[in-house]
Amino acid sequence: MVFSIRMRAAQGGAHEKGGRHISGAERLVGEDALSRTAGEMVERALHHSKGRADFIRITMEEVDPASTKEIEPPAIREYEGKTMEETREKGLAVLAAHGVNRTAAEKALQALLSLDVSMRGAMAVSAETGERMDSLGDRGIRVTRMGFRDKAEAARVLVSHGYEGMHIREALVLAGKVLSCEDVLGELCISDDPEYTTGYVSYRDESGIPVYCRLEPLKPAGCALGGRVFFLKDGADPEKVRAYLEETTVFVRTPALSQTAEITDRTKERKSDLLTGLAAEAESLRHSSVYRKVTDTVQHDAAHARVGGEDCLMLTTNNYLGLAHRKDMEEAAAEAVRQYGTGSGGSRLLSGSFPLFTELEKALAALKETESALVFNTGYMTNLGTVSALIGPKDHVFSDSLNHASIIDGCRLSRGHIHVYPHNDLTALSEMLEDLPDEGRRLIITDGVFSMDGDIADLPGLLRLAEKYDCLLAVDDAHATGIIGNGRGTAHYFGVSSPRLLQIGTLSKAVGSEGGFVCASETIITLLRNRARSFIFSTALTPPDIGAALAGVRLIASGKAPVRKLQDNISFLAGKLAEAGIDVPGKTKDGKVIEDFLPTPIFPIVLGSDERTLAAAEQLRERQILLSAIRPPTVPKGESRLRLTVTADHSFGELAYLADTLKEVIGNLS
Ligand code: WAQ
Ligand code: MG
């Protein structure tokens, strides 16, 4: 037996009581799919981009098989305009070419665009005059009782032609049913989903075949106004149209997209624009202040490099301890090559896990005092794989607003609910946690040392919240491992540990090699080994990477790495910058070193505009000082900065020279 299941959701109470419409849906399903479908509809109402519904009504009704009808789906056409205006014009022209009076179509479009609340259904207008014909107000005609005959097959065919997502599926069915009504000449539809800018017009072509013409973009992104217009033949009875569209059950056959010539048209149309479009984009980047390029650089150690034929003092490496250019590290890498070759040849789970991996993971777990550890190929892949493995669509992740891009991307990939809390603001975070419904897993994630600001997360405070609200807590120690907490990172710096804590880090910065890692409980590591796709589907790092990483971790753990020297350089530079009158958040202010200054090697000198920052970097470059000009999107607009990183390889003399030169250059800026 087939059931019609309908959902209507609103915010601020029921629609009748003045609630704002959030979402509506209708499907025809077998009895076995009733409860699952109801569940999906509830989810959709609770997590809608227009807001969370607090009123949800679900109706289920068995359909009389004798009163059902089966129809062909419309053929799909595509039109992508360069501007919204152009696309709207195209939609009007297409309607006008197929029986709708041009002025009537324009009038209907204007009527849609001047609604102050979206309608729940469609308005019926005369295809001759554009005058509204029904008297159903905001409600309009609600097309219901329709679905694909074989929903899974229809979805498969659509997806295989690049048509993904539910919008087009639902719209094709609706448009098909509407065109199956004799009295309707065509339809115009704009989505009310603020993020969905594609709409369509539908009509019958010269041979009477129903056509669904997608129009992109039909409205500006972020606009929550949408609606539908049905164009009725002259003399049609709107009540008869309504009764048919609301009461007759219609099944739509599976689209046979391979047979429509229109698809080929789309491909042709797109190709001709593609290459010119890309070239124009690249060209405009080249002239912009956020243009990025790569330069050949030969590093001698962490402080000295030859760049473009010139010897420079370098303050722009994350090789904080200088381990990447040490003889003993190079020898460890070479020895690993001699024993295991130059490449791993496979994923860790297949053939790629040579024995140095086990030793390295043991050494990392010991360094961080956790049960277990897992190595990934890069820090970026570590965050991507870890967040997406632990968090799914029903879960919640709480992410500091200044977290690294790899964390942001991991959150997006997880498809969980993302809650961004203001930087290091534990009050705001606890309010967010307090407001959360009880279901789903929660993960709080933060940089340990923030990469662009050099400040440190309040890990003890975060851990208290994680415990109170039953969350996992992940700290990314990319810029903390080998540096703070005697080289053991943020957790050690604060003296905290917990089975709910994940300590993420990289092997590519202070450790002097390449890769990333997670140190955590055996349980978490087992989950990551089995679920983290960036781990599973990457060829393992190479023997020299791991040989060097193991040597680096051992140097740090044994106290033989120059962690102390790095700390001395950090406080020396802070003193010199204070003398030079250069403010560095968290380190110096008004010619003084801040009491309890942050012991991190990252010195952000915020200059404001991209232009000032680039000019300063350029002048420093002329004086053979190399540091990075950090601009949006890496940092917020208006907070462009020189980011200098001090390492253990710098001498006091060089740092003093740096402070003097900075003072002079900043003094010269307008
Ligand atoms: N019957 C009549 N009108 C409806 C119905 C219905 N069952 N459902 C929605 N509407 C009206 C209502 O006024 C909404 O405000 C408006 O349509 C837009 O509804 O190929 O998402 O559900 O990718 O936002 C077009 C797909 C998506 C384009 C349309 O409509 C594509 C969409 P939404
Ligand atoms: Mg919608």
Coil vs helix vs strand at 519: strand
CB of residue 226 inside a 6 A radius of ligand 1: yes
Query: What is the Cα–Cα distance from 94 to 174, expressed in whole angstroms?
Result: 19
- Indicate if the pLDDT at residue 269 is higher than 50: no
pLDDT bin (cut points 50, 70, 90) of residue 634 is confident
Contact 245, 178 (CB under 8 A): yes
Beta strand 588-589 pairing with 628-630:
unpaired
Q: Which of 189, 211, 231 to mutate to test the pocket of ligand 1 (most atoms within 8 A of CB)?
A: 189
Find out whether the peptide bond into 194 is cis, omega within 30 degrees of 0.
no
Task: Give 142 Cα–ligand 1 centroid separation in angstroms.
Answer: 10
Query: What is the Cα–Cα distance from 353 to 539, expressed in whole angstroms?
Result: 10
Which distant-in-sequence residues (6+ apart) come within 8 Å of 370 by Cβ?
497, 503, 519, 520, 521
Long-range contacts of 279-284 (CB under 8 A, 24+ apart): none
CB of residue 566 inside a 6 A radius of ligand 1: no
Task: Give 49 Cα–ligand 2 centroid separation in angstroms.
Answer: 9
Residue reference for tokens 């609301």: 246
Query: What is the Cα–Cα distance from 549 to 364, expressed in whole angstroms?
Result: 10
Contact 484, 495 (CB under 8 A): no
Contact 100, 231 (CB under 8 A): yes
Beta strand 592-593 pairing with 417-421:
unpaired
E strand or H helix at 410? helix 405-414
Structure tokens at 546: 């791991």
Q: What are phi and psi of 446, to 5 degrees?
A: -145, 150
Query: For atom 4 of ligand 1, which residue has the closest CA?
Result: 121
Question: How many other CB atoms are there within 10 angstroms of residue 250's CB atom?
Answer: 24
Query: What is the Cα–Cα distance from 155 to 161, expressed in whole angstroms?
Result: 10
Q: Which ligand is nearest to the CA of 242?
A: 1
Closest CA to 482 of 648, 663, 292: 648
CB of residue 197 inside a 6 A radius of ligand 1: no
Q: Is the dihedral of CA 539, 545, 549, 551 positive or negative?
A: positive
Task: Give 8 Cα–ligand 1 centroid separation in angstroms.
Answer: 13
Mean pLDDT of the chain: 92
State the closest ligand 1 atom to the C-alpha of 23, by its place in the atom list counted from 1: 22
**Listing from the earlier edge strand, what are the strands of the sheet with 75-80?**
75-80, 210-216, 199-204, 184-190, 227-232, 122-126
Query: What is the Cα–Cα distance from 165 to 152, expressed in whole angstroms?
Result: 13
Give the lowest-confidence range in 213-227, 344-358, 613-627. Answer: 213-227
Dump the DSSP string for 30-72: EGGGHHHHHHHHHHHHHTBTTB--SEEEEEEEE--GGGEEEEP
Q: What's the pLDDT tens digit per position in 250-264?
A: 999 999 876 443 433
Calculate the CA 113 to chain-centre distance: 31
pTM over 0.75: no
- Indicate if the pLDDT at residue 184 is higher than 70: yes
pLDDT bin (cut points 50, 70, 90) of residue 278 is confident
CB of residue 192 inside a 6 A radius of ligand 1: yes
> Distance of CA 552 to CAs 308, 360, 450, 456, 570, Å?
29, 10, 22, 23, 21
- Indicate if the pLDDT at residue 633 is higher than 90: no
CB of residue 167 inside a 6 A radius of ligand 1: yes
Q: How confident is the model at residue 258, as a pLDDT?
A: 61
CB of residue 122 inside a 6 A radius of ligand 1: yes
Q: What is the CA radius of gyration of the chain?
A: 31
Dump the DSSP string for 622-658: HTTEE-EEE-TTTS-TT-EEEEEE--TT--HHHHHHH
CB of residue 217 inside a 6 A radius of ligand 1: no
Query: For atom 3 of ligand 1, which residue has the closest CA?
Result: 121
Query: What is the Cα–Cα distance from 363 to 179, expressed in whole angstroms?
Result: 68
Query: What is the Cα–Cα distance from 163 to 264, expressed in whole angstroms?
Result: 14
Coil vs helix vs strand at 568: helix
pLDDT bin (cut points 50, 70, 90) of residue 585 is very high
Q: Which of 145, 174, 181, 192 to mutate to test the pocket of ligand 1 (most atoms within 8 A of CB)?
A: 192
Q: What's the pLDDT tens digit per position in 78-135?
A: 999 888 999 999 999 999 999 999 999 999 999 998 888 778 899 999 999 999 999 9
Task: Give 259 Cα–ligand 1 centroid separation in angstroms.
Answer: 26
Q: What's the pLDDT tens digit per position in 512-567?
A: 999 999 999 999 999 999 999 999 999 999 999 999 999 999 999 999 999 999 99
Residues whose Cβ atom is located within 5 A of ion ligand 2: 192-193
Q: How confident is the model at residue 263, as a pLDDT?
A: 38
Q: How confident is the model at residue 272, as a pLDDT?
A: 55
Closest CA to 614 of 604, 601, 627, 633: 627
Average pLDDT over residues 395-415: 96
Task: Give 192 Cα–ligand 2 centroid separation in angstroms.
Answer: 5
Q: What's the pLDDT tens digit per position in 38-48?
A: 998 998 899 88
Which distant-in-sequence residues (6+ apart) come within 8 Å of 247 by Cβ?
145
Q: What's the pLDDT tens digit per position in 51-94?
A: 889 999 999 999 887 778 999 999 999 999 888 999 999 999 99
Q: How confident is the model at residue 264, as a pLDDT?
A: 38
Q: How confident is the model at residue 102, as a pLDDT?
A: 96
CB of residue 119 inside a 6 A radius of ligand 1: yes
CB of residue 216 inside a 6 A radius of ligand 1: no
- Indicate if the pLDDT at residue 265 is higher than 70: no
